[in-house]
Structure 1
Amino acid sequence: MKLHWSPRSPFVRKVMIVLHETGLVDEVDLSRNVVAVQMPTPEAVLADNPLGKIPALVTEDGRRLIDSRVICEYLDLRAGTGLYPVEASARVAHLNWQALADGMTDVLLIWRTELNRETGPWQAVVDGWRVKVRAAMARLEAEAPEMERMPFGIGHVALVAALGQMDFRWPDCGWRDHFPQLAALAARLAERPSVAATAVEDDQGSDSGALTRGQLSFRA
């Protein structure tokens, strides 16, 4: 298999965690790609994902899978790992956590891109994103005890990727000081081998927080 990959992408990290959990990581060749909305899309990525996004996975039989949610479920089904519970209530809980964490990650990524605009960010939009991220973190804090009780699954995978991106791109936001239950859960998840092996790496040597410092605070 071939995976269009970046060590900085939170959605690629989701896939990499699942690859480690399923034992399939050695069956995938990683193709390094730099993808951003303000940059031309690499032809290699566009050939396998018409939306020009990563991750994108090409299977041995040539099937092209796009979006981390599709890829992660495919890998779990293939390996029979059980990251997607069979029992309905647990499955819905994990899928809902994935949707919440993925949605927050989307906001964080597009927010940082907005800060790059030559004319400056659209303040009303930025203010709206700030409200949504705060609300998402509050919901995750409230549900952290339930996540703690649940066996490791796709909801935890998405949460790790979202919080990892927050640490990488928004390093001064101090979220751990305001969400102690979520911080404790994140610390325990960080000890898991699949999570430790996929820590975000800035292989481009940029100042990841230069644009975002002071932009996100959880103070009342």
Structure 2
Amino acid sequence: MMILRSSPPSPFGRKIKIAAALAGLRGKIEVVMADTTDPADVLRSQNPLGKIPVLILEDGTTLYDSRVILEYLDWLAGGNLLIPAEPKARFAALTQAALADGILDAAILQIYEERFRTPERREPKWIDYQSEKVARALAIFDAAPPAGHRDVAHIGLACALGYLDLRFGGKWRDSYKTLVPWLAAFEAEVPAFAATRFVA
């Protein structure tokens, strides 16, 4: 059995859990908790960056990060399931997935600014810079959210919106009206989304 090192609040780990469910591979993966802040956790030997998720294959090979793991799961499931095979659709989906990952990266940096810096050391300009990235990306998605077969782009955007709900109180919902029903439809169609929700 493969092992997924992750933690419940991780949106990148959530991406892999949802992808595995959509690919019919969830039963072949054991999820094992990882603590990125603990130097004694073997995570740092599994991924020298000390980041999650990490997928450990049955032969001991480790794969990281979520983009690579998701591509591996697509390959394992026969391809053209999580990532379209046709070139135009493939690169459109991967570009949207990268934009969704960018939302997560910028959102997490805002959380880290508050988590690791005392109030007097926080940099408002840096927080605004990251917040503006999120706003621009959400505007793009609000104008044209991923459509059709649920793939890497859908998974990425759903996890990004879920993370904004978790860490930012769902404030995005007031400004991006197309994305609210889009996420509701994704949740209704993909049970793994609700099953992987983390409540702080």
TM over 0.5: yes
Kindly tell me: are residues 3 and 42 of structure 1, through their superposed partners in 2, closer, same or farther at Cα, counting changes over 3 Å? farther
Structure 2 residue ranges without an equivalent (≥5): none
Match of 1:3 in 2: 4
Aligned equivalent of 1:57, options 48, 55, 58: 55
Partner of 2:83: 84
Distance in 1 of aligned mates of 2:96 and 2:39: 30
RMSD: 1.4
Q: What is the letter of the counterpart of residue 167 of structure 1?
A: D
Distance 2:121 2:97 in 1: 31
Distance 2:27 2:196 in 1: 14
| TM-score (norm: length of structure 2) | 0.92
For residue 210 of structure 1, what is the aligned residue in structure 2? Answer: none
Unpaired stretches in structure 1, ≥5 consecutive residues: 203-220
Equivalent of 2:43 in 42, 45, 51: 45
Confirm or deny that 1:189 pairs with 2:190. Answer: no
Letter in 1 for 2:183: A
Residues 20 and 73, structure 2, Cα contact 8 Å, conserved in 1: yes
| Greater mean alpha carbon deviation, residues 90-99 or residues 40-49 | 40-49
Q: TM-score, normalised by structure 1?
A: 0.84
**Preserved CA contact (<8 Å) 1:164 1:200:** no
Distance 2:167 2:41 in 1: 27
Shift of 1:153: 0.4
CA distance in 2, matches of 1:16, 1:71: 10
C-alpha distance in structure 2 between counterparts of 1:41 and 1:26, whole Å? 30
CA distance in 2, matches of 1:188, 1:166: 17
In the alignment, the residues of structure 1 paired with residue 55 and residue 21 of structure 2 have an alpha-carbon distance, to the nearest angstrom, of 15
**What letter is aligned with 2:98?**
A
Distance in 2 of aligned mates of 1:69 and 1:40: 24
Match of 1:176? 173
Task: Give the count of matched residue pairs.
Answer: 195
Q: Distance in 2 between matches of 1:42 and 1:85?
A: 39
- Residues 62-83 of structure 1: per-residue CA shift (max 9 Å, x gap): 1110100000110111012511
